[in-house]
Chains A and B, each alone.
Chain A
Amino acid sequence: GPGLSLSLSLSLSLSLSLSLSLSLSLSLSDPQQLVGVVGLEVHAQINSNTKLFSGSSVRFSAPPNSLVSPFDASLPGTLPVLNKRCVEAAVMTALALNCTINKKSLFDRKHYFYADLPAGYQITQQRRPIAVDGTLTYSILGGKKRSQVIRRTSTIKQIQLEQDSGKSLHDDLRSQTLIDLNRAGVGLMELVMEPDMSCGEEAAAAVRELQLILQALGTCQANMSEGQLRVDANVSVHKPGEPLGVRTEVKNINSVRFLSRAIDYEIQRHIQVLQRGGTVQNETRAFDSKSGETIPMRDKEGLQDYRFMPEPNLPPLIVYEDNASLPTGIDACQAVVVQEIRAGLPELPSIKRDRLVQTYGILPEHSFTLVNEDGLVEYFEAVLKATTKEPRKVIGWVTNELVGHLKQRDMSVSQSPISPSALAELLERQESGHISSSVAKQVFQEMWRSPGKTASQIIQEQDLGLVSDATQLHSICQKVVDSHPVEVHAIRNGNKKVLNKLMGLVQKETKGRADPVLVRAILQEKTS
């Protein structure tokens, strides 16, 4: 009867409101605790003359399909022959990243169908890659003013050699895809990293450091915009201490900046999905740089089964620790010796930074900027050669003024209109007391605008020389003192800071060209 239905509806509404309030309180407390988990997969194109398994050329731009051998096109009757340079590059990179080299590594086939993979499989190293267990140490700027250098370390699970695929150009108009196999078969080093990062900033810093290392080694030119370095991000969120959440893979990231944005967007997207009470789908998404969002990629149908099998045409790859462990009778050009490669390692960025700090007494964050910008260390050292000024006093000009102006106009160090010697001259004029530091900055701007004009020329033309004429300064100071009795009174009563205001007024009179040391002394005398 009605009594029953009433109690039912009551209990229903009660339970409903209960569960609602429960979920509300849960979701309200969740977002604070959910943190991002990021693991990167980096594909670095090996800097070699020829491809990984064939003798065709490796070049960035060339007429379509002109750098393709019969093996690259997967024609029957062709076999892979491993490029020694690619092995050496992988070993060198692994050593620089503190990896353990697998003396014996194996090749496998990874099967999937796509038009730019003519063989229907990619030769990779899934079972036993050439190197495992490495570390990538990078730094992020933290602290209150973001000037504190904080070191982080990310673990590299493995480094493996594998083939690159060709390029597909999608012609949506004619509903077809154009295939260029020039890139098919180019050697790649895949670096698989553990998911031990938590945000876009860390990932960007890690990749930037990796770029510097690879460029220093010469094993990869690491230009993301040219596709020499490709980064895919695996992103998930969870509450610290709890199991990892469902992850999504983000692809199509073309710069370090986009990497940071894509990861942060994806972390937020996961959090929002969970907040709404939904579940995150395990999928692959593409980053759209225009909108700053990630969108699902259509072509991936569910979980792929790659049917890995050993590559039957390639015996295991053996690398030797040192010349003593070489088997008798082996041809030297057939042996990759780890010790020799280790001995040939160049100075890595982190070592370079430490050396600069030691040698020049500059701060770590300055040395960070020096090593980060291509050619800046050479510029800095050239300036030091041409000036008597201390490195610590020069570094600010290089890392702040020069880099600031370059960044504004998206220019590289090599394009700077002010040469190291020109900057050195400017600094000499300041050091010798001819101009004040604020005027020096003005002159710098002027030199930038009119390349070729020296500092001395500009100082003379615009009469920017420091006014040190005592009589002149005395009269200006007297004028200021006379016209500001209140301030003078305050100074005489003990408020010394007001002196700065008077100094500012004097500088205004002299258009910033008064020798500040002299002015202070004169003013102090006049107000005592």
Chain B
Amino acid sequence: MSLFSLSAKCTCRAVSMKSHRPSFNLLTNDGYSVTKVENLHRRNRCLQSHITRVTRLLSSEPHHSKVPKVATWELIPEDQLPPPAHLPADLVDQLERLALVDFPTKQGLACLEKAIRFADQLHVVDTSGVEPMDSVLEDRALQLRHDAVIEGGCAEELLQLSKNTVEEYFVAPPGNIPLPRREERATMMKHSEL
């Protein structure tokens, strides 16, 4: 694919904005099928209304984009944000235990603090009287399944996924191995680096 810009001239690749508008039909289970049909129509038509200058990398379909040409977001001033969260070492340790994620270096911790700061911007939004959203699916109907056996019986396949098995059982260490304490881990890290 090459870089190119559109002119007002109609080429066989030119496309009308109307037919290309991606519409997600919420009544169908699978949204993708709708756009596939749209793609087909796109290739057949050769209308050329509302073509604008768009420069795009790696794309053969120019269209009127909703992305503004210049940045429109503003930096939120510090005074509108709550005080920056300070993460004591004990809290970091607890988080590492709960999520089994490692923050061994100062950079890791700095990254976490920046991420929290970024999320702090949400406090600026006025959410009074608005129910919190759980997921984008929450307005959909929950599918109920009929109580009939349709899967299972694939022990062999599943066991092949594990390095260590004993007579059709998966093998795990005896109970949870406690995560070594912060000081011990620091020493361990030092030794591993040497």
Q: Mark B159-187, 1 if CB is under 8 A from A, else 0.
A: 10100001111111111101000000000
The answer to whether A111 touches B98, judged by C-beta atoms less than 8 angstroms apart, is: yes
A113 at the interface (CB under 8 A from B): yes
B155 at the interface (CB under 8 A from A): yes
Ranked nearest first, the 10 interchain pairs of A and B with the lowest CB-CB distance are A56-B152, A115-B172, A85-B147, A178-B169, A55-B150, A310-B134, A84-B144, A179-B170, A69-B151, A312-B135
CA distance A484 to B53 in the complex (A): 132
CA distance A305 to B96 in the complex (A): 12
Could you list which residues of chain B lie within 8 angstroms of chain A, going by C-beta atoms? 94, 98-100, 134-135, 137-155, 158-159, 161, 166-176, 178
The answer to whether B134 touches A66, judged by C-beta atoms less than 8 angstroms apart, is: no
Contacts A178-B171, A315-B142, A316-B138 supplied; 20 other A-B pairs, CB < 8 Å: A48-B147, A49-B149, A50-B150, A55-B149, A57-B149, A63-B168, A66-B153, A66-B168, A68-B158, A70-B154, A82-B145, A84-B144, A86-B147, A87-B144, A177-B172, A178-B170, A178-B172, A310-B134, A310-B135, A315-B138
Given the known inter-chain contacts A65-B155, A310-B134, please indicate yes or no for A176 contacting B174, CB distance below 8 A: yes
The answer to whether A56 touches B145, judged by C-beta atoms less than 8 angstroms apart, is: no
Main secondary structure of the interface of B (DSSP, over half): loop
A73 at the interface (CB under 8 A from B): yes
Residues of the A chain whose Cβ atoms lie less than 8 Å from the Cβ of B158: 65, 68, 70, 73, 181
Sorting the interface of chain A by its residue count into under 10, 10 to 19, 20 to 34 or 35 or more gives 35 or more
The answer to whether A315 touches B140, judged by C-beta atoms less than 8 angstroms apart, is: yes
Given the known inter-chain contacts A49-B148, A305-B94, please indicate yes or no for A65 contacting B142, CB distance below 8 A: no
The answer to whether B144 touches A179, judged by C-beta atoms less than 8 angstroms apart, is: no
Contact of B100 among A68, A113, A330 (CB under 8 A): A113
A307 at the interface (CB under 8 A from B): yes
CA distance A82 to B147 in the complex (A): 10
Residues of the B chain whose Cβ atoms lie less than 8 Å from the Cβ of A522: none
Q: Mark A281-309, 1 if CB is under 8 A from B, else 0.
A: 00000000000000000110100010100
Residues of the A chain whose Cβ atoms lie less than 8 Å from the Cβ of B134: 106, 310, 312, 316
22 contacts between A and B (CB under 8 A): A49-B147, A64-B169, A65-B158, A68-B154, A68-B155, A69-B152, A70-B154, A82-B145, A87-B144, A115-B172, A168-B172, A169-B169, A178-B171, A179-B169, A179-B171, A179-B172, A299-B175, A310-B135, A312-B135, A315-B140, A315-B142, A334-B143
